[in-house]
Structure 1
Amino acid sequence: MTTLEMQPTFVLYTDEPLDPTLAKLRRAIRSAEFGGHAESAGPCLDFKVPKQQQRLWSPHLSVHLTELEQGGTELYCRFSPRPEIWTGVMVTYFAAVFVIFMAGIYAYVQWLLGGYPWALVAVPVAAAVVIALHLASLTGQQLSSDQMHELRTQLDRAMELASAQSVPAAKTAGME
């Protein structure tokens, strides 16, 4: 986690098609071993830190499954802050970009009217907010590296349980 990546990602691949892979993973995360700390919706899985262990910077692991043209399934995995934290980060980020944009316009108008473009003072302040968000992201990733490792272990365990399962063949209409 040494890059300025706000949401670290990684990709896994399986040789099985999407539907059997998804069915097996759903069965695996419903097992008692996961204790309700993983859920699925559509082609997505979400692994969460247990409530009693959550901190402000606790991540969750989102996994999006996609069928590959050449066969097999891609699992696109992304660590993110919890949705309520991520929403706050994005609102702050867009507010800072908006302030930079508006300060630039206002300073330009001030300059055109022969005044001093004092509104440019807001540009480095808002830029500092954006930089602070990235630094906070890196700090949060370092503070929650143990939880990120645990979430990755949960995904690996779900994959292990899924690979040990066999999915019954789908019935074809008219054949029994």
Structure 2
Amino acid sequence: MNEPDTSRWRSLLKMQPTFSLELSDEASDFAKRIRDSIPQFDFRDHVSTAGTCIDFKIDPQERRFWSPHLSVQVHSLEEGSQVRARFSPRPEIWTMFMAVYGVMAIIAFGAAIFAYVQWFLGDRPWAIVLIPFCLLVIVTLHVASLIGQNLSADQMHTLHERFNQVVAAAKQSN
């Protein structure tokens, strides 16, 4: 019996796409070369760095609600280093989504407890209707984030190109 291909569904449900790059350079040295190469680009004002972390952002005049940013971290390995990059919503948008997810989870948990107490006391457990509502809000937010991710695919491509340009410049400065 053949196993069903679930890779399509996993990619549809994936939030915050990631990619990585293996390097033979030491992490701190490569991060310094990246920082040193950023000023030569016209998008330098939209890149921020701190240690081995680099954030690529969309220009403010091109920003939309769903505009992503690319968070890059350079990690040391036993031999060389690894660059790990993750596309995600801007931090304020991501925080809002996580807060709503958290509030809905807390409300659903509280509703389950309250409904159990109502049932245990012989009352009608009306609080249980909040659980599907909370789940619906969570699923709706997830679908909205996937739609936003698709709407911002062009900006994700732009950020990835900027990352590639900076990495190429950093490799050349070696």
Among 80, 85, 90, the alignment partner of 2:88 is 80
Residue 109 of structure 1 is matched in structure 2 by: 117
* 2:58 corresponds to: 49
Distance 2:67 2:111 in 1: 34
1:163 Cα deviation from its structure 2 partner: 0.7
Unpaired runs of 5+ in structure 2?
Answer: 1-7
The CA deviation at 1:32 is: 3.7
Contact 1:29 1:39 in 2 (8 A): no
Identity %: 44
For residues 156 and 33 of structure 1, the distance between their equivalents in structure 2, rounded to whole angstroms, comes to 14
Q: What are the residue-to-residue correspondences of 1:20-99 with 2, within 5 Å?
A: 20-69=29-78, 71-99=79-107
- Counterpart secondary structure, 1:122: helix
More helix by share: 2
Alignment check: 8 A CA contact 1:48 1:60 kept: yes
- 1:8 to partner: Cα distance: 1.2
Aligned length in residues: 165
2:12 is paired with a residue whose SS is coil
Correspondence 1:145-156 to 2 at 5 A: 145-156=153-164
Summarize deviations over 1:119-167 as a string: whole Å, max 9, x none.
010000000011011101110110000000000001000001101103x
**Please, what TM-score do these two structures have when normalized by structure 1?**
0.90
| Structure 1, unpaired ranges of 5+ | 167-176
Query: Could you tell me the TM-score, scaled by structure 2's length?
Result: 0.91
Question: What is residue 133 of structure 2 aligned with on the other side?
Answer: 125
Runs of 4+ in 1 over 2 A off after TM superposition: 30-35
Q: Which amino acid aligns with 2:119?
A: W
Could you give the per-residue CA deviations for residues 26-73 of structure 1, whole angstroms, max 9, x where no partner exists?
11223243231111012100000000000000000000110001x111
